[in-house]
Amino acid sequence: MPYWFEPTTTSIEIGGRPMTLETGRMAKQAAGSVVVSYGGTSVLVTAVHSKPRPGIDFFPLTVDFVEKFAAAGKIPGGFFKREGRLSDREVLVSRFIDRSIRPLFADGYNDDTQITATVLSSDPDSSADMCAFVGASAALSISDLPFLGPIGAVRICRADGEFIINPNPEQREGAELELIVAGTRGSIVMVEGGGDQIAEAEMLVALKHAHEKILEIIDVIEAFQKQVGKEKLVPAEPEDLSELESEIRAKAGDQLSEAFQIRAKHERSAAVKEIEKGVINEYVDAYSNEKVEIDTLAGWEGRRTGLASLRGNVSHLLHDIGADLMRDRVLATGERIDGRKNNDIRQIACEVRAVTRPHGVALFTRGETQAMVNCTLGSGSDEQTIDGMVGRFKKAFMLHYNFPPFSVGEARPLRGPGRREVGHGTLAERAITPVLPEHEDFPYTIRLVSETLESNGSSSMAAVCGSTLALLDSGVPIKAPVAGIAMGLITDGKRTVILSDILGDEDHLGDMDFKVAGTEEGITALQMDIKVKQIDWDIMENALAQAREGRLHILNCMREETASDLGNLEPREELHEFAPRLEVMFVKPDRIRDIIGPGGKVIRAIQETTGAKIDVEDSGRVSIFGPDGASVEQALSMVGELTQEAEIGKIYLAKVKRVADFGAFAEIFPGTDGLIHISHLADGRVDNVTDVVSEGDEVLAKCIDIDPAGRIRLSRKEALAETATEGE
């Protein structure tokens, strides 16, 4: 083996299977490169960074999780037959890794950094997303990047009362709880998932159980780092701005404190910007008026750079001073930016049928956050087909979240949904899914679209509340109403305040942001981002308890606001007048060909005649979907005539199709004939069949037998006798 080809491996057992980490064999020019193998799944994760760029005042981190169909032995669908933009699943995994690792880079490090996780081999029983996360942590840890990890992550499920780490698809399908949990040695840092109305205490137990396994992963990565890790980069020491900070605090501290007490978002923002503008101009004017002789191009460039640096420093210091003032006020007095106490919820207003044509619509407003949610009902042909690594499957429920720029008073070009919109929509979809009716009981395809009309804190939770109301307004029989709330945390290590229903500024300046959605019984969705190094479990328990109080308050407000339309948050008894109608019937699988007809001729004719859509499954399930009840009834009747089965004891008006010496063959309904034996044509002896019936005659005939081969025996004699008795 060549000297430059010396792979190093280590492994850990997770969920009863070994997970192996390897470096030194692939992608060796990356700053950090690790291949994580778990079962038959292998993921290559690389970490790279660019040279420092002067003047960068933010951390440009990019994380991409990429699934290559070749890894599963598949060819992509579509015209081009190659992978395109990231799928929603790839976006969600990328976001999960990004949000977990972003706070763990050293202060002052602002180099362009990219993490790429590429699936090389895909085993359905071993999910690639957990391999990608562990690989990202390991690649960063052994690289020269100033990463303050490692961290670990696991997926945890609970089924039949037992916790399962990194479950296979079958175990996940039957689970009542599923979470993805990431954490450091000191605390969890990210949670994503949900369950079927899980109690807060049970959720906390799951988080603790997951963290125990995370600690084992961290131990392995730390040992791996000691074995093959590179020397870490040391970011340049930041400029000492303590003197400038003291000056600015003296000049603008009182003004900022007053500005942060303005309750309206835009007025507060305008006041802060005006203060910032005045302070910056004062320092810039002083700098520009300095008597400095400049006689070279380098001198002018230095002057320009110095001026830009001064602007940036003053702006950042003003931001930090404002944040400190806001946080100190909350910790000292419990009073927040908008004057609320820590557990107060902003005013809530709800309205259904705000517009007329959608099948269900709700307008949900909480403070300066507002969402309009539309519910649309469709047929099986409207289901979303997803071409994934594990195969092609369909979704009968979709929730899409949009965040147009006008919702925050900005002017930006409209584009397709970004990563944030995909993530927020998935969170809301996860919150609603557990309470939807079984598809067999309500066989519609359901699409919810949440349009954020205003935003100042947790528009995703407004989407959850609005979705519940839109579903109820459309008549969908959900199992229980769901509400959501965004929670925050501010701590200085000694004092801690948990905030309910956080504003955008509190999210930005706080130490934890977590969103909890659920019913009165328990949690259906949870998303948590922790920005500080350690949060103890008591704080976590108190935060979940306070979130429950807030959720119940919001549910009660929703109930009161819509009582005249929805009663006690109950679905409307009838579907909207513009909603389509859907009926389901079952036929024997061997009768499907009668519905389809040669080349689809029969089913097309029915659809053209009635205006209804007909979906036929191999099992014999026939779904008839139409714009109104009349079209559905007509289609039902036509399909019923094609597929009806003879019933013993039932009397039919039969048409004689053929006469034989031993009897007459009569059609009881289209495509189905039976034999009326000569002995069953009439009372007494019949010498000739034609003495009683002729071809083309319509006669009453009772079905008296169906043999194992499906042959039908009819009796005119018994039909006449029975009808005569009824007439008497």
Alpha helices, H only, 75-118: 88-101
Give the residue extent of every domain in the chain.
Answer: 8-228, 242-333, 348-408+421-502+514-566, 581-643, 651-727
Asked if 353 and 577 touch (Cβ cutoff 8 Å), the reply is no
DSSP symbol at 147 = B
Among 94, 222, 219, 215, CA closest to 147: 222
According to the model, what pLDDT value does residue 300 have? 45
Pairing of strands 663-669, 162-165: unpaired
Return the pLDDT at 288: 67
In the numeric block, the tokens 């005249």 are attached to: 564
Q: Which residues contact 328 (CB under 8 A, 6 or more apart)?
A: none
CATH topology identical between 8-228 and 348-408+421-502+514-566: yes
Question: Minimal CA–CA distance to 97: which of 35, 169, 149, 38?
Answer: 149
| pLDDT value, residue 204 | 94
Residue whose pair of structure tokens reads 């309904």 in the numeric block: 669
Taking the alpha carbons of 633, 635, 639, 642 in that order, is the dihedral positive or negative? positive
Model pLDDT for residues 139-186, shown as the tens digit of each residue: 999 999 999 989 999 999 998 889 999 999 888 888 999 999 999 998
Alpha-helical (H) ranges within 458-536 are 459-474, 504-509
**Pair of tokens at residue 524:** 């259906």
Strands 483-491, 512-518: pairing is antiparallel
pLDDT value, residue 256: 86
Cα 540 to Cα 537: distance, rounded to the nearest angstrom = 5
CA–CA distance, 138 with 101 (Å, rounded to integer): 11
Which residues does 578 contact at the CB level (< 8 Å), separation at least 6? 357, 358, 359
Maximum separation of any 2 CA atoms in the chain, in Å: 134
Residue 38 and residue 123: Cα distance in Å, rounded? 9
The total number of residues shown for the chain amounts to: 728
Beta bridge partners of 516: 485, 526
Output the pLDDT for position 88.
Answer: 92
Using alpha carbons, select from 289, 286, 285, 284 the residue that is nearest to residue 310: 284
In this predicted structure, what is the pLDDT of residue 307? 67
Report the alpha-carbon distance of residue 432 to residue 405 in Å, rounded.
26
Superfamily of domain 651-727: Nucleic acid-binding proteins (2.40.50.140)
What letter would DSSP give residue 86? P
Q: What's residue 269's pLDDT?
A: 86
What letter does residue 405 receive in the DSSP assignment? G
d(CA 498, CA 343): 8
Give pLDDT < 50 ranges for the chain.
1-3, 296-300
Query: What's the pLDDT tens digit per position in 622-657?
Result: 989 888 888 888 998 888 888 888 889 999 899 999
| Topology of domain 242-333, CATH | Arc Repressor Mutant, subunit A (1.10.10)
**Residue from 337, 355, 354 nearest 346 by CA:** 337
- CATH number belonging to the domain at 8-228, selected among 3.30.230.70, 2.40.50.140, 2.60.120.380, 1.10.260.40: 3.30.230.70
Instruction: List 165's β-bridge partners, or say none.
Output: 156
CA distance 13 to 18: 4
pLDDT at position 286? 72
Q: Which helix (H) or strand (E) holds 539?
A: helix 537-561
Q: Quick one: CATH architecture of 348-408+421-502+514-566?
A: 2-Layer Sandwich (3.30)
Mapping DSSP to helix (H, G, I), strand (E, B) and coil, where does residue 715 land?
Answer: strand
Is beta strand 512-518 parallel, antiparallel or unpaired with respect to 523-530?
antiparallel
Q: Which residues of 172-209 are buried (b: 16+ CB within 10 A; e: fewer)?
A: eeebebbbbbbbbbebbbbbbbbbbbbebeebbebbeb
- Angle in degrees, 0-180, between the axes of helices 601-610 and 629-643, rounded to the nearest 10: 150
C-alpha 698/C-alpha 213 separation (Å) is 78
Whole-angstrom distance, CA of residue 507 vs CA of residue 370 = 17
Measured between alpha carbons, how far is 255 from 252 in angstroms, rounded to an integer? 5
CATH superfamily of 581-643: K Homology domain, type 1 (3.30.1370.10)
